[in-house]
Amino acid sequence: MTKVFKKRLCRVCGKKGIKFASDGCLICGATWVSDTVWDIALRKNQTENNVLKKNSEFITYQNYKLRDKYNKKKGQRKNTKNSGINLVPDSIFGISIYVLLILFCIWIFSDFGGECGVDYAPRFFGEC
């Protein structure tokens, strides 16, 4: 005889998606919200209609793929594109620019060692 597990109500999405507390919600990917955390959220007015508010500090996700899938369905996925400067080159062109920049710095900041008797190499590569 096999046991049939009832799914419990998720306190993040409001649907019956939690089979085991350790697995989290199978629908939205949120972790199980324990009774202690639920009581704290109630006292801090972080709930509405037996579900945590969307901006609640108590919502954590265990499975990010399910979270993204759930948010995509709901149309709540935010654009998280970084608009900063990326210092790591992504292509051959970027790497070649880095190499040219390093060679240019060696050429500009080097001290050609005429006083050492070596006229063909800069002292940047070594002292006399």
Per-residue pLDDT tens over the stretch 1-10:
556 678 888 8
pTM for the predicted model, two decimal places = 0.48
Residue 98: inside a domain, yes or no? no
Across 55-68, average pLDDT = 73
Q: Please report, as a single letter, which amino acid is at residue 65.
A: K
pLDDT of residue 12: 87
Distances (CA, A) of 20 to 5, 25, 92: 9, 8, 48
Residue pLDDT, tens place only, 69-102: 666 665 554 555 555 667 777 788 888 998 999 9
pLDDT of residue 19: 83
Q: From its phi and psi, is residue 24 left (phi > 0), alpha (psi between -120 and 50) or beta? A: left
pLDDT of residue 30: 84
Residue 18: inside a domain, yes or no? yes
Residue 102: inside a domain, yes or no? no
Q: Are 48 and 13 in contact (CB under 8 A)?
A: no
Q: Please report, as a single letter, which amino acid is at residue 14.
A: G
Q: What is the mean pLDDT of the chain?
A: 75
Number of structural domains, the chain? 1
Residue 29: inside a domain, yes or no? yes
Residue 31: inside a domain, yes or no? yes
Domain hosting 42: range is 8-74
Run of H or E including 57: none
Categorize the per-residue pLDDT at 116 as very low, low, confident or very high, splitting at 50, 70 and 90: low
Across 23-44, average pLDDT = 85
Residue 14: inside a domain, yes or no? yes
pLDDT of residue 82: 54
Residue 22: inside a domain, yes or no? yes
Residue 91: inside a domain, yes or no? no
